[in-house]
Amino acid sequence: MEPTIDRILISENALRDRVAALAEEIAATYRDADGGIAIVTVLAGSIVFLADLIRRLPMRMRVGLAMVSSYAGPTRVSEGAVLRSWSLPDVAGLDVLIVDDIVDTGGTLRVVQRAVAGLDPRSVRTAVLLRKVAKAPADVSVDFVGFDIEDVFVVGYGLDYDGVYRNLPYVAVLADGGPGPRPVS
């Protein structure tokens, strides 16, 4: 049976206000990026955050996509992250901003940051909507964070459980009644 929502962790209003503030921080950081920036977004959990964020960034930009798998099927356990594919503009000499939904163990961001660093960009920074602050490793640097959260499994605002709940306009905690962690086969 699919787990249900236990409670709303971050409301629609709080998301809107924080994303607006993050966009201001990011815009100020890239004030002098004359040639524009390249955004590399990690699919698919960041789609809603990305859409709201970039519409508040008043600068020239190109957007690239990266696919990383860390989950297979209905599990809440993050497995080893693998960069599956990407479609990127030429980022050599450009300021790159990696945009992701959540830093949990940091495996996903680590592989994307390393891969982008190998493309000779001028700079690489990272923005995430959520960070599980107790777990995020020190070697994965994050420059812009929307919210630090406790170590609970969250869905909504782009984040899914087994492919569903991405369309919720808020971030919610799943009820404990659903299937627990399962090994990836």
Among 9, 91, 107, 121, binds ligand XMP (CB under 6 A): 107
Among 41, 75, 78, 113, binds ligand XMP (CB under 6 A): 78
Q: If binding is defined by CB under 6 A, does position 106 make contact with ligand XMP?
A: yes
Q: If binding is defined by CB under 6 A, does position 41 make contact with ligand XMP?
A: no
Q: If binding is defined by CB under 6 A, does position 101 make contact with ligand XMP?
A: yes
Among 103, 127, 129, 168, binds ligand XMP (CB under 6 A): 103
Angle between helices 12-29 and 47-54 (to 10 degrees): 60
Q: Tell me if 15 sits within 8 A of 171, measured CB to CB.
A: yes
Q: If binding is defined by CB under 6 A, does position 52 make contact with ligand XMP?
A: no
Q: If binding is defined by CB under 6 A, does position 3 make contact with ligand XMP?
A: no
Our CB check for ligand XMP shows the closer of 21 and 72 to be 72
Which region, judged by CB under 6 A, interacts with ligand XMP, from 33-41, 89-97, 115-123, 154-162?
154-162
Among 37, 39, 43, 81, binds ligand XMP (CB under 6 A): 81
Q: If binding is defined by CB under 6 A, does position 173 make contact with ligand XMP?
A: no
123 vs 91: CA distance, rounded Å = 10
Q: Tell me if 129 sits within 8 A of 138, measured CB to CB.
A: no
Q: Report the DSSP pairing between strands 82-87 and 61-69.
A: antiparallel
Q: Which residues participate in catalysis according to the annotation? A: 104
Interface with ligand XMP in residues 114-153 (CB under 6 A) = 153
For 22, the token pair is 């993050």
Q: Tell me if 44 sits within 8 A of 158, measured CB to CB.
A: yes
**Closest approach of Cβ 97 to ligand XMP, in Å?**
16
For 181, the token pair is 């962690």
18 vs 24: CA distance, rounded Å = 10
- For residue 22, give the 3-state DSSP assignment: helix
Q: Tell me if 150 sits within 8 A of 45, measured CB to CB.
A: no
Site for ligand XMP, rule CB under 6 A: 42, 45, 70, 78, 81, 100-108, 153-155, 159-161
